Structure 1
């Protein structure tokens, strides 16, 4: 016995054709059955021969069947035979007409299904032709606002998001390659300078190696940041209760003492529990505080606050610093973006806020960044609050 999946037609056009034909056959058969019942139940006038009557009294005598008197049994029998013959002829001719119309309906169903599915075939051909090289193309389906138009618009929206994601990926790879190539070039230059020195000294070798070691540390930081960014964008595999207040206190306690004239920290810590990855949340808090301290002004300040607001666990970090144009704020949340591209920032590569953004998205939270009127930023990360279930005594 053949499996059912192999006996079902595979093309949508064939399935629609059979569906149209089946519906027509069912409705035609129902109409024929209803008509047959009506014909059988209705009174039919039947012309019968004149028996025992004069010719002048037999001029188109009509009898109603079944309203014929019981005394006219031969006449009644003949009328019933004529009526049954008429019904059989009606059913036979109707069946032939239904069979003919079934064939016609299948042919029309095939044509109609093909016309209905023509836009879908066009969209399929276009989507099959689109690849990474021409993902900028769109279906641009022109037609009435129906299901096919909605499908085409949805596919166009998906292609637009893929196009933007591919462009962002290309920029990310290019920026990462540039950031990795720069220290490698510097390392090579230092080594070549040392090798070409005809009278090298121990101090020269030591200075070169210390410089190369410093560059290696910076490369390690970059690779670690890239790994954290990739881990955050992949999402969370498990979640545990995380207290933003506890992590923030630990991060602030581990920071070195601020030098004289440097920014001052002003913490306002309140309980704020969410569910997530403690290591990623700690990296988020560290990046926010480091970013606020680094991009600051002499004698500036950094305000760090945690708490629960509107059913969300929130951490807010604001700092004094250089004036940030409002149109540049969104760019700072992207990888390898800095307010001043000419500055090397002591080996930092502009990944801090992009890692923060990725971690917030991985936890299902929201990140907002607003420039302060006098300079600096106010960055607020909000996570879904985790409610600790109360014990039942």
Structure 2
């Protein structure tokens, strides 16, 4: 019994989809054929028996009509019975032969049909196997009716498109990062070479050179820290906890050196769910960006609160006029409004880090250029109450 069950499991769990479909088609056809032949056999057998009963019913005692001799009646019954048995047996044998032939034919037809059905999948599989980083621009572009296979092919094409865009963005990011790191390295090399070649250099000139090298090194450290924060944000969150945006914004505002700018906080409690360090970095980057790209005597407005079931922090600043079509570009890494100006070691990573942290928190980010100059950025975080409800569930 155990060997039979093992054999049955092997037959019902084939290794290929085509064989699985063939077995399914064949078994279904064989089962339906067996039921049809059984019904036909029962109907023929029943009809033959009824016909014999009606034909020789006058031979039964107690019925009206002429009564032949008993030996003749018995011989007639035996003859009819033998004829019926021979007919039923012949019908059974012929039905079993037809069933066996049609079962073989059904498995063959099932194999051909399953191959035809799975042909688009084989084409898709071959194309996907052929696609690599060098030709990721290729697409499946499956033709035919809008069915499940066409929808699957379109989904895979969409995935390849997103992967292509991600690889392009990655290459662009690496190129920009290499450029940002190569520039200070070139300056460091020039300063060191100048100090070594200057035979008359005194302690003051060497001290000045060391000071410039230290400043460049600090800028590189800030750049690497920003890159690490960006990578950590894009990797997602390991844990979430309640974070009061008002308290975070208050700490950032108190630590910001605004100079002649006016910092105008309007902070209301807003309990968001997320990573405290990353959220504080987000608010700090928004405020730092608002202070750096401002005008003399301008203002920076920092607001927190709860709006429409979201914990919201928004930073608005005055500043130079930003073309509306440039706002989206400023959210990309290493992008600045004026590409030729690189002041105070600002590498154009601030807003890209803000967007990455917002995406990691499932937050909504909105950035708008103000008509009279400056930028308005709003980030809406999920409330911590939703986090508590999920943890409680």
| TM-score strictly above 0.5 | yes
Q: Cα gap change, 1:327/1:46 in structure 2, threshold over 3 Å: closer, same or farther?
A: same
Specify the SS of the correspondent of 2:54. strand
What's 1:272 paired with?
270
Q: Distance in 2 between matches of 1:117 and 1:29?
A: 28
Q: Cα gap change, 1:64/1:187 in structure 2, threshold over 3 Å: closer, same or farther?
A: same
Q: Distance in 1 between matches of 2:170 and 2:7?
A: 46
Specify the SS of the correspondent of 1:347. coil
Q: Cα gap change, 1:281/1:306 in structure 2, threshold over 3 Å: closer, same or farther?
A: same
Q: Is 1:70 matched up with 2:71?
A: no
Shift in Å at residue 358 of structure 1?
0.6
Q: Cα gap change, 1:34/1:312 in structure 2, threshold over 3 Å: closer, same or farther?
A: same
Residue of 369, 372, 379 corresponding to 1:371: 369
Q: Cα gap change, 1:27/1:68 in structure 2, threshold over 3 Å: closer, same or farther?
A: farther
Q: Distance in 2 between matches of 1:319 and 1:138?
A: 45
Q: Is 1:9 matched up with 2:7?
A: no
Are the aligned partners of 1:68 and 1:76 in contact in 2 as well (CA < 8 Å)?
no
Q: Distance in 1 between matches of 2:309 and 2:50?
A: 84
Q: TM-score, normalised by structure 2?
A: 0.90
Residue of 26, 31, 35 corresponding to 1:21: 26
Shift in Å at residue 3 of structure 1?
8.8
Moved more, 192-201 or 206-215: 192-201
Q: Distance in 1 between matches of 2:20 and 2:341?
A: 65
What's 2:315 paired with?
317
Q: Is 1:225 matched up with 2:226?
A: yes
What's 2:44 paired with?
39
Residue-by-residue CA offset, 1:240-268 (whole Å, 9 max, x unaligned)? 11111111111111223x32xx3211111
Specify the SS of the correspondent of 2:43. helix
Residue of 313, 334, 339 corresponding to 2:337: 339
Counting helix residues as a fraction of each chain, which structure ranks higher?
A: 2
What's 2:68 paired with?
none
Structure 2: which 5+ residue stretches go unaligned? Answer: 62-72
Shift in Å at residue 324 of structure 1?
1.0
Q: Cα gap change, 1:100/1:209 in structure 2, threshold over 3 Å: closer, same or farther?
A: same
Q: Distance in 1 between matches of 2:217 and 2:325?
A: 35
Q: Cα gap change, 1:114/1:68 in structure 2, threshold over 3 Å: closer, same or farther?
A: farther
Q: Cα gap change, 1:45/1:278 in structure 2, threshold over 3 Å: closer, same or farther?
A: closer
Specify the SS of the correspondent of 2:242. strand
Q: TM-score, normalised by structure 1?
A: 0.90
Specify the SS of the correspondent of 1:237. coil
Shift in Å at residue 293 of structure 1?
0.8
CA RMSD of aligned residues (A): 2.0
Q: Distance in 2 between matches of 1:185 and 1:283?
A: 30
Q: Cα gap change, 1:227/1:67 in structure 2, threshold over 3 Å: closer, same or farther?
A: farther
Residue-by-residue CA offset, 1:214-254 (whole Å, 9 max, x unaligned)? 00000000000000000000011111111111111111112
Shift in Å at residue 67 of structure 1?
5.1
Q: Distance in 1 between matches of 2:367 and 2:7?
A: 60
Residue-by-residue CA offset, 1:296-326 (whole Å, 9 max, x unaligned)? 1111111111011111101011111111111
What's 1:175 paired with?
176
Are the aligned partners of 1:65 and 1:76 in contact in 2 as well (CA < 8 Å)?
no
Q: Cα gap change, 1:73/1:6 in structure 2, threshold over 3 Å: closer, same or farther?
A: closer
Are the aligned partners of 1:126 and 1:139 in contact in 2 as well (CA < 8 Å)?
yes
Shift in Å at residue 119 of structure 1?
1.3
Are the aligned partners of 1:318 and 1:378 in contact in 2 as well (CA < 8 Å)?
yes
Shift in Å at residue 144 of structure 1?
0.9
Q: Distance in 1 between matches of 2:7 and 2:336?
A: 62
What's 2:185 paired with?
184
> Pairwise mapping of residues 217-256 of structure 1 onto structure 2 (< 5 A)?
217-256=218-257
Specify the SS of the correspondent of 2:380. strand
Q: Cα gap change, 1:226/1:70 in structure 2, threshold over 3 Å: closer, same or farther?
A: same
